[in-house]
Amino acid sequence: MRIARGLDELAELKQTVREGNDPEATGRQHARGKLTAHERIGLLLDEGSFHEVEPLRRHRATGFGMEARRPHGDGVVTGWGTVHGRTVFVYAHDFRVFGGSLGEAHAAKIHKLMDLAASAGAPLVSLNDGAGARIQEGVTALAGYGGIFVRNTRNSGMIPQISVMLGPCAGGAAYSPALTDFVFMVRGISQMFITGPGVVRAVTGMDVTQDDLGGADVHATTSGVAAFVHDDEETCLEDVRYLLSLLPANNRELPPRVPTDDPADRRTDRLLDLVPPDPRIPYDMRAVIREIVDDGDLLEVHEGWATNVICALARLDGHVVAIVANQPATMAGALDIHASEKAAGFVQTCDSFNIPLLTLVDVPGFLPGLDQEHGGIIRHGAKLLYAYCNATVPRVQLILRKSYGGAYIVMDSRSVGADLSFAWPINEIAVMGAEGAANVIFRREIEGADEPELMRAQKIKEYQNTLIHPYYAAERGLVDDVIDPRDSRSTLIQALAMLRTKHAEVPSRKHGNPPM
């Protein structure tokens, strides 16, 4: 009987921990349009797979009335479960308990979970909805954040780390998501900032709302902090599940392959109509990517930020591939500061997790301008160059139309280590476009001619025939083959299949020193 009573008490206690002992707090959470921690975990993980860790832990703080308020769990739910049958670790702030703020016990639970994830070699997802450091616990709470930051850094490149912002995240708390691989945000309920509207108003005199300062759309389009943004929690967590299906469990594994009915030898006839042969006419590179990848399906990262370059995860013949592509529909696809940063971070992340790189090139060069030069385009462009040069995964380049100047080199050319490079018959690879080159090389002849425009046209054609014809780079071994655009999918699949067993020796060093 004693055992039976004990089991009843345990079941009642765990139900109280799960549902909360304050129905009004749950009601307030729902009234804000937000789910509870356990509801969120239920959407993220496979049904019935969650195993909670330390649900009964309580804080030991005293003073400020804390000794009278010692709820179990201490404002964070931690544990593991599965996503599509694969192990995933998760912690979720419970805003109903101390506003999800972090104290000593709260932090200790997260530290333990992060260590378990590292030991098990499985992804870690954080569902963030907390009010920052618990003021009543002082510096102890701040030290708890330090422990999270050092584990984020230690686990970087070893296990995928995903941050899902489902509430406020202010001050030093914002640095943990910034240290992870991918950040998701939800419009209307997610905010991230170092100093809040009150501090901004006091220091600058500027009135700004939380959303205008650090809302989802701000970080998705302006700062580049958020990789994905959604309108509601349900679709957000569904996309987290999708992303996890494209990532390996850790850096020692390959991404999971899934069977596909899309034939590997499918001809991509539509590409002939999608890409205009005139290099000055824009088009949407997304349509090209959809035509090449399995079932036209891709997950674009940072879709709203630095839109002149596309970074996406997709599959070719069931195998995950990372795609970096210039976007001629925006700024003619030129590289600038933000595009370089965006692509560099994506290349580095995918290289960490053994995801092959496919680079689709249609680039007129780096964006010229005083703001770009003063903003450090040299330094930021070098980040992308460094990321590619440092990558050891299979790397395949496909040049669709133009590829000029330093941007040609930076977009994973053979000269910086691409394993294979292919080009379409309309490709133009050169230091610059024919018109600009002719104006420089033949300036005196053009200016001294009786008919300067006629002479300019002749010299442009001469330069094109000599240095920019489609086979110039192939004749010198800088392009492995010039292919029919309709064979793009099958060519890329065959190339990546051959490179699947690639092994690259890395230098013996503590770590590289990339441009920051």
List the catalytic residue out of 147, 171, 224, 376: 171
| pLDDT exceeds cutoff 90 at 435 | no
CA distance linking residue 460 with residue 511, whole number of Å: 47
List the catalytic residue out of 131, 173, 322, 407: 407
Q: What is the pLDDT of residue 131?
A: 73
Q: What is the pLDDT of residue 186?
A: 97
Strand, helix or coil for residue 155 = helix
Active site residue 407: yes
Q: What is the pLDDT of residue 133?
A: 75
What's the mean per-residue pLDDT of the chain?
A: 90
| pLDDT exceeds cutoff 80 at 467 | no
| pLDDT exceeds cutoff 60 at 360 | yes
Residue 103 structure tokens: 């104290």
| pLDDT exceeds cutoff 80 at 7 | no
Helix axes 337-352, 377-390, angle to 10 degrees: 20
| pLDDT exceeds cutoff 60 at 1 | no
Mean pLDDT of 300-306: 98
Could you tell me the pTM of the whole model? Answer: 0.92
Mean pLDDT of 88-96: 93
Q: What is the pLDDT of residue 18?
A: 72
DSSP annotation of 495 reads: H
Q: What is the pLDDT of residue 48?
A: 95
Q: What is the pLDDT of residue 65?
A: 66
Residue 381 structure tokens: 């462009």
Active site residue 369: no
pLDDT single digits (tens) 68-82: 676 776 789 999 999
Nearest by Cα to 177 from 219, 212, 209: 219
With bands split at pLDDT 50, 70 and 90, how would you rate the model's confidence at 20?
low
Residue 120 structure tokens: 């098990």
CA angle (383 as vertex; 494, 488 as ends), nearest 5: 20
pLDDT single digits (tens) 135-194: 778 788 888 889 999 999 999 999 999 999 999 888 778 999 999 999 999 999 999 998
Contact 361/403 with Cβ under 8 angstroms?
yes
Active site residue 27: no
Active site residue 146: no
List the catalytic residue out of 157, 406, 417, 436: 406
Higher-scoring residue by pLDDT: 504, 285: 285
258 Cβ contact list (under 8 Å, min separation 6): 245, 315, 318
pLDDT single digits (tens) 321-355: 999 999 999 999 999 999 999 999 999 999 999 99
Q: What is the pLDDT of residue 21?
A: 65
Q: What is the pLDDT of residue 470?
A: 79
CA distance linking residue 312 with residue 214, whole number of Å: 24
| Percent with pLDDT over 70 in the chain | 96
327 Cβ contact list (under 8 Å, min separation 6): 284, 285, 286, 307, 308, 309, 310, 333
Q: Which of 288-292, 460-464, 501-505 shows the lowest per-residue confidence on average (mean pLDDT)?
A: 460-464
| pLDDT exceeds cutoff 90 at 399 | yes
How many residues does this entry show for the chain? 516
CA distance linking residue 436 with residue 208, whole number of Å: 46
Q: What is the pLDDT of residue 71?
A: 77
Contact 155/114 with Cβ under 8 angstroms?
yes
